[in-house]
Structure 1
């Protein structure tokens, strides 16, 4: 997938915040958690390492890179709801990995995914991510189990 990554604009952040996923993936709607929404939508609180991904001129996803443990970087990513479930996940995540490796000279990657999201876990495993451990995190008004993965 040929994705053009740019620092996220406020317009793109607001568009992404309005994305609505079908159940059970609506867990990932930005509006599902007020704190997460504020961190994403407010330019003063948003990570300076957040990028918009465009394919053929259309907003297709986003990527946030956490450099706290550089050269291992932690990835937060999302695809446009209209693009999910169509077999594009692997190429999208690969584009995220290539961008982060090139821009940040990352040598290893981590990410966290809700344990119910078997579709995403399968994509990550096909790309070489290994399951590390599960943990519980407060989000979306409750406590949910997540899987930490590493490549």
Structure 2
């Protein structure tokens, strides 16, 4: 698969926010589950230059948000289209995101957070070089040194 990254449009943000719905415990990731996150995601100014749509053959398949937390660290958030999750493409998807982040922002470290119940995502992140670093409330944060990629 060839993934392409471009700044997210308002139409793409609205599609993700209102039509991407995850089942069962994964509903935790539905944009509508947190009104503050939803408002931020839908606000063009707050998205700014930090949220990218990911497409494959013109189809919107995911997104990644990028936040520089200090001079050396990028913290990212990501989402994959619900119908594509759990089918074995996660590692290629995450690897493409990491390649994009490294080539665009050149960080020394990449961090992310994931809900502790999301074992399949944790397996993917660990396979992509993330280490378990810190546990807080209901999430686990991973840290990845870009030199290991």
Both structures adopt the same fold (TM-score exceeding 0.5): yes
Map of 1:124 onto structure 2? 125
| Residue 14 (str. 1) matches residue 7 (str. 2) | no
1:108 CA drift (Å): 1.7
Q: For 2:71 and 2:84, how far apart are their aligned partners in 1?
A: 30
Map of 2:94 onto structure 1? 93
Number of residue pairs the alignment of both structures matches: 143
User: What stretches of structure 2 of length at least 5 have no aligned partner?
Assistant: 145-149
- Aligned CA RMSD, in angstroms, stands at 1.0
Indicate if the aligned counterparts of 1:111 and 1:148 stay in contact, CA closer than 8 A. Answer: yes
Provide the TM-score with structure 1 as the length reference. Answer: 0.91
Structure 2 matches for 1:1-150, cutoff 5 A? Answer: 1-18=1-18, 19-136=20-137, 145-150=138-143
> What is the CA deviation profile of residues 17-69 of structure 1, one whole-angstrom value per residue up to 9, with x for unaligned ones?
02101111111000000000000011122242100000011000000011122
* Higher mean displacement: 62-71 or 26-35: 62-71
1:70 CA drift (Å): 3.3
> What is the CA deviation profile of residues 88-115 of structure 1, one whole-angstrom value per residue up to 9, with x for unaligned ones?
1111100110000011112221000000
Q: Secondary structure at the match of 2:21?
A: coil
User: What stretches of structure 1 of length at least 5 have no aligned partner?
Assistant: 137-144
Q: For 2:24 and 2:101, how far apart are their aligned partners in 1?
A: 30
Aligned structure 1 segments of 4 or more residues deviating by more than 4 angstroms: none
Indicate if the aligned counterparts of 1:64 and 1:77 stay in contact, CA closer than 8 A. Answer: yes
